[in-house]
Structure 1
């Protein structure tokens, strides 16, 4: 096992005291104690709207500014380039509408069959409204991967945007986003929009290194409250739909309406927790960004180890078919499978009855399930790990599956 403080980590998550096994991380992780405390503190001490001269408003402005700076450090960004919203889906719809003001009939969009519908449906609806052409980047059902060569073949002078998922919420595939963004820049003038909801909880994220134009993620998928986060490349200035008094600075143009300040406080608490984890694994880290990189690097290594344990256990279950990458290479610890003779929803119920929480169905990755020809079969059973999972919990899952 990597030198990872799993007992200390688990002590930071109050929900784990239930004694149940939370393998539903791709749908939403449990909240860390620092996030819960920060939200409670903000509401208990007194909340207010922004921009006032009185104490609670000043304090709220400070919390919001600190939350923007904290999430920027997690993503390798600057605070002005961060926007908070209710969720990633809502932010993606807002961006799609703003960008499409400049698009015309005959222009082209590229979406993939490997993505969550939140990074597909907004662009399909824009294409329908504007008379645009949609080009689909397919994936290989045998490997769960799309190829850069196939992406290159779809790019052209009319391509306006390429929407890609950093990691598949259904199959766990970790996609070559930096290479894809470089290819898009080389072959076209298109923008790139990256859904990083499933990658940010598991790997180090650096928006500059990725080379994308937009990146969206969800703090409730990495131990915080229900929020959405949007990063927009400096220099872009889409004409956002918003109320007239709202600001028009950088990414903040997408923060129309009063935000969830308690949610932003919770995000700040989440970053504090990840900083703590970074200090545990690398006491020499001398900045918040360095501590966050250390935390995510350690989590990645630990998740690889427990993921390998899970894959080894799967191999002992007769009739179990894993869909997606067969090893921990090029994937996050999200695993989906079918089991001969068993409906995925019945498996999920069997596990739930034994205190093991996992999802069944399409997980809003409707194109994935259709491409695998599993729609009529009820989709997949998905097990999602994160860095508070243990070897003992994985063994408990495998034992429950053997009962079937």
Structure 2
């Protein structure tokens, strides 16, 4: 089946609703994407027929065990991991990162150093700063390149020393949409024996992740950002899967990814996750493996989102009273279709509230990228209005957005 926007949108019931006589239009993808019917059906089917726990000698427990294995394999293909054993599940990226930070920091010594950034969502900052405080470890923070709201790579590289134990970095800003080439960062970290912990939450809906190409030690994302349910996914590279000692309730599994998973998992969410990844790969050629189908499907997403970004930026260029914080390029290799805006005569909160009254779903603030907003000097004026387009978004929706912005701001 070939990719068309109509075929995409037909799978999302949320995209066809109205409220108070107006269509509900979603520009809040970076905060959480909408979910296709196949994901909902998979979750309902699991809860309705197979709800169970692991380790029992009856059919629904066996089906649940098979589901967990299927979810690990689907995520292995999604991330291009070498082994499904490298896939760990948790409530969300933030919870996984706090948990993993405890295990990773066990061996830190006073005087060791870690590097975080001002660009990242603070789930990939606060977790490490608090772990460092517990161990009297020095925290260095890389600055934002304010010209395009990306990362100041040179500054970050200058912070990596032989004392560095971990570098935490994002693949894409959840506020400005700027995509970060982390290859030089990973190389520098490897030269001094430091771990690299990658936040791919905002990147995952827009680009297919390849942990082998990235050569990172850890990578985390959340399925509710890429058209799935609320569940977090972590990739843990060898040898850390066996060498780290996570905090666990006894008796913990002796080996494998279960060592890092606390409590009973949301098995219905895992069912939705499998369906979500299958949805993402549906535009690939039938008969190919899942990874290949995902690669072909994401090429369609990238093409469509580049067209959306180009159109959005053309419209924005006609409105000099609206400031874009981020790259002005529409190239999907340089940015995601996420845009951070401020307005000459109107506060960000005022604009977001006015749009919300017209069922244009967006919001304002710092979006937990507090370092970025502070460095840009926007913390005390309501932050930015964030417009997030997904591969189900349309040009007509962009037109409606700018019509309402014109009515408010001109």
Shorter-normalised TM range? over 0.9
SS in 1 for 2:380: coil
The CA deviation string for residues 179-223 of structure 1, in whole angstroms up to 9 with x for no partner, is 32122213x110000000000110121000001000000000000
Who is 1:65 aligned against? 69
The CA deviation string for residues 313-347 of structure 1, in whole angstroms up to 9 with x for no partner, is 11122410000111123111110010111111111
SS in 1 for 2:45: helix
Who is 1:287 aligned against? 289
Q: Aligned Cα RMSD in Å?
A: 1.2
2:361 is equivalent to residue 357 of structure 1? yes
CA distance in 2: counterparts of 1:386 and 1:234, whole angstroms: 33
- CA contact 1:178–1:212 (8 Å) conserved in 2: no
Who is 2:400 aligned against? 396
Who is 2:104 aligned against? 99
Distance 1:342 1:246, change over 3 A: same
CA distance in 1: counterparts of 2:144 and 2:173, whole angstroms: 11
2:213 is equivalent to residue 203 of structure 1? no
Who is 2:182 aligned against? 177
CA distance in 2: counterparts of 1:331 and 1:253, whole angstroms: 36
1:4 Cα shift? Answer: 4.1
- CA contact 1:232–1:250 (8 Å) conserved in 2: no
CA distance in 1: counterparts of 2:268 and 2:137, whole angstroms: 40
1:127 Cα shift? Answer: 1.2
CA distance in 1: counterparts of 2:256 and 2:139, whole angstroms: 28
* Aligned residues between the structures: 397
CA distance in 1: counterparts of 2:288 and 2:262, whole angstroms: 36
1:250 Cα shift? Answer: 3.8
Superposed, 1:4-403 pairs within 5 Å as: 4-18=3-17, 19-77=23-81, 78-186=83-191, 188-236=192-240, 237-278=243-284, 283=285, 286-329=288-331, 330-403=334-407
1:284 Cα shift? Answer: 6.0
The CA deviation string for residues 101-145 of structure 1, in whole angstroms up to 9 with x for no partner, is 100111101000000010000001011111111111111212212
CA distance in 1: counterparts of 2:44 and 2:167, whole angstroms: 40
SS in 2 for 1:277: coil
1:304 Cα shift? Answer: 0.7
Q: TM-score, normalised by structure 1?
A: 0.96
1:177 Cα shift? Answer: 2.0
CA distance in 1: counterparts of 2:254 and 2:194, whole angstroms: 23
CA distance in 2: counterparts of 1:219 and 1:295, whole angstroms: 17
CA distance in 1: counterparts of 2:294 and 2:151, whole angstroms: 30
Distance 1:181 1:296, change over 3 A: same
CA distance in 2: counterparts of 1:143 and 1:248, whole angstroms: 46
CA distance in 1: counterparts of 2:140 and 2:133, whole angstroms: 13
Of the structure 1 ranges 377-386 and 295-304, higher mean CA displacement relative to structure 2 is found in 295-304
